[in-house]
Amino acid sequence: KIKIVTIGGGSSYTPELVEGLIKRKNEIDIGELWLVDIQEGKEKLEIVGAMVKRMVKAAGLDWKVNLTVDRREALPGADYVTTQFRVGSLNARIRDERIPLSHGMIGQETNGAGGIFKAFRTIPVILDIIKDMKELCPNAWLVNFTNPSGMVTEAVIKYGKWEKTVGLCNVPIRYEKMSYEVMGLDEANQELYFKFAGLNHFHWHRVWNRKGEEVTKYLIEEIYKPENKGKYVGMKNIKDIPFNYEQIADLGMLPCSYHRYYYITDEMLKDELKEYSNHETRGEQVKKTEAELFELYKDPQLDYKPEQLSKRGGAYYSDVACEVICSIQNDKRVNMVVSTVNNGTIIDLPYDCVVEVSSMITSHGPEPINWGSFEAGIRGPLQLQKSFEQCTVEAAVTGDYGKALQAFTMNPLILKGKITKDLLNEMLIANKAYLPQF
């Protein structure tokens, strides 16, 4: 029987994860499920934990569901450790959004200065988790969902030296579903073939049909032509503000929602500033949704995932996380998009860096599918983004101020000059409690 440990168990997403595990009960034979949180998250953990126990019971399963605020109690002998924690809670996210915005820059959970600070807060914690795993569950797979997922995965593999790591995100599956919708094809029959390459929240993809025809260009036209605005809905957490169509057409590949921050920064910033003047960043909206969700989870009758969870950006995350576990456990060799070591898959990037690419998920982990090289229009931004990520991870590990300033200077969403340093200093002070390395 399998033992799964979920760190950040008090997350409002946990019922989604558990629903995914229940759906796959015939493929993964779970003995124990441990939900781990910290003292500050204990109340959330208990509410979610009780709800999870009801879900498991309603499904007629005998899994032992355990709750703890001591991860060392949970980890011994784990087969899979999944991570979905948020250091500093939503309050830290709101500061990541508001401080850059107050200086006229994009404020976002995983991009720009906000994304950098989320990495700075998270990486020391994940490296401590790895230390405990080395001692207590040396054979476990780490399935990381914690953002910024790509950089966290790179830190774990490169600095934590934990090779059995898979980094995840729900953006690719969201785009796969959208392609089926556009093409009017049945997802269950896997009529389409997808090939993704790039980095987490910074990838592009191509699509083919069963006849071997590439349908990428058709999808670009259907989704992004100005006259089709609003026809298809992307990620819940990012406004579908139109790209400059001719530029997307020139890419010849489908972008991801997050490229909006880079390709149409002006529109995204203006939109954020408008929301900000209404005193609502995304983090603040999420806080309200979370409060609603926890009220529902408290209901002793509720034993299934409520509809309201779909207001969160992470829809389908459980399908990704649970399918990866299933595919490793049963050597299913399913084709999925994950963050994993490049190993020459994208020849424009270093061999040892982490990339987010279509991979075959085997019992020995992801085998990335060869991509090759990108054309200049993508290669340039991609190489910059990877180099930026590497500087950020190095700064997060060492606490080196110059390296942190380098990362800030490289990031396309951060203004350059004295303001770069002012912003870094302001955010270092605001995050002091969560940055032991600086």
Residue ranges in contact with ligand G6P by CB under 6 A: 109-110, 147, 169-171, 235, 237, 282, 286, 312-314
Residue 237 interacts, among ligand NAD, ligand G6P, Mn ion, none and using kind-specific CB cut-offs from 5 to 8 Å, with ligand G6P
Stretch that binds Mn ion, among 169-177, 248-256, 301-309, 352-360 (CB under 5 A): 169-177
For residues 169 and 357, which CB has a smaller minimum distance to ligand G6P in the complex?
Answer: 169
Angle, CA of 272, 278 and 283, to the nearest 5° = 60
Minimal distance, residue 16 CB to ligand NAD, in Å: 10
Give 87's Cβ-side CA count (13 Å radius).
24
Q: Classify burial at 379, counting beta carbons within 10 Å of its beta carbon; exposed 0-12, middle 13-18, buried 19 or more.
A: middle
**228-238 b/e with 16+ CB inside 10 Å = b?**
eeeeeebbebb
The Cα 327–Cα 423 span in angstroms is 43
Catalytic residue among 80, 175, 258, 297: 258
The Cα 385–Cα 11 span in angstroms is 29
Minimal distance, residue 290 CB to ligand G6P, in Å: 9
Kindly state the tokens that stand for 45: 């953990």
For residues 143 and 219, which CB has a smaller minimum distance to ligand NAD in the complex?
Answer: 143
Contacts with ligand NAD by CB under 6 A lie at 7-8, 10-13, 36-38, 40-41, 44, 84-87, 89-90, 125, 145-147, 149, 168-170, 314, 317
For residues 37 and 323, which CB has a smaller minimum distance to ligand NAD in the complex?
Answer: 37
Residue 8 interacts, among ligand NAD, Mn ion, ligand G6P, none and using kind-specific CB cut-offs from 5 to 8 Å, with ligand NAD
Residue 56 interacts, among ligand G6P, Mn ion, ligand NAD, none and using kind-specific CB cut-offs from 5 to 8 Å, with none
Query: How many amino acids of this chain bind Mn ion (CB under 5 A)?
Result: 2
Phi, psi at 186, each rounded to 5°: -90, 120
Residue 37 interacts, among Mn ion, ligand NAD, ligand G6P, none and using kind-specific CB cut-offs from 5 to 8 Å, with ligand NAD
Residue 356 bridge partners (DSSP): 339
Question: For this structure, is 258 an active site residue?
Answer: yes
Minimal distance, residue 371 CB to ligand G6P, in Å: 21
State yes or no: residue 293 binds Mn ion (CB under 5 A).
Answer: no
CB 239 within 8 A of CB 271: yes
For residues 82 and 411, which CB has a smaller minimum distance to ligand NAD in the complex?
Answer: 82
Residue 182 interacts, among ligand NAD, Mn ion, ligand G6P, none and using kind-specific CB cut-offs from 5 to 8 Å, with none
For residues 110 and 411, which CB has a smaller minimum distance to ligand G6P in the complex?
Answer: 110
Residue by residue, DSSP assigns 231-279 as: SS---TTS--PPP-HHHHHHHTSB--GGGHHHHSHHHHHHHHHHHHHTT
State yes or no: residue 169 binds Mn ion (CB under 5 A).
Answer: yes
Residues 328-357 that bind Mn ion (CB under 5 A): none
The Cα 360–Cα 339 span in angstroms is 12
For residues 71 and 203, which CB has a smaller minimum distance to Mn ion in the complex?
Answer: 203
The Cα 95–Cα 92 span in angstroms is 5
Q: Find all residues with CB under 8 Å of 301, minimum gap 6, and list them.
A: none
Residue 334 bridge partners (DSSP): 361
Kindly state the tokens that stand for 78: 């784990």
Minimal distance, residue 213 CB to ligand NAD, in Å: 30
Residue 166 bridge partners (DSSP): 143
Stretch that binds Mn ion, among 100-108, 152-160, 371-379, 384-392 (CB under 5 A): 100-108
Residue 12 interacts, among ligand NAD, ligand G6P, Mn ion, none and using kind-specific CB cut-offs from 5 to 8 Å, with ligand NAD
CB 113 within 8 A of CB 431: no
For residues 108 and 146, which CB has a smaller minimum distance to ligand NAD in the complex?
Answer: 146
Minimal distance, residue 320 CB to ligand NAD, in Å: 8
Minimal distance, residue 14 CB to ligand NAD, in Å: 8
DSSP state of 46: H
H or E stretch at 365: strand 365-368
Phi, psi at 395, each rounded to 5°: -65, -40
CB 56 within 8 A of CB 63: yes
**Active-site residue list:** 258
Which residue ranges make up the site for Mn ion (CB under 5 A)? 102, 169
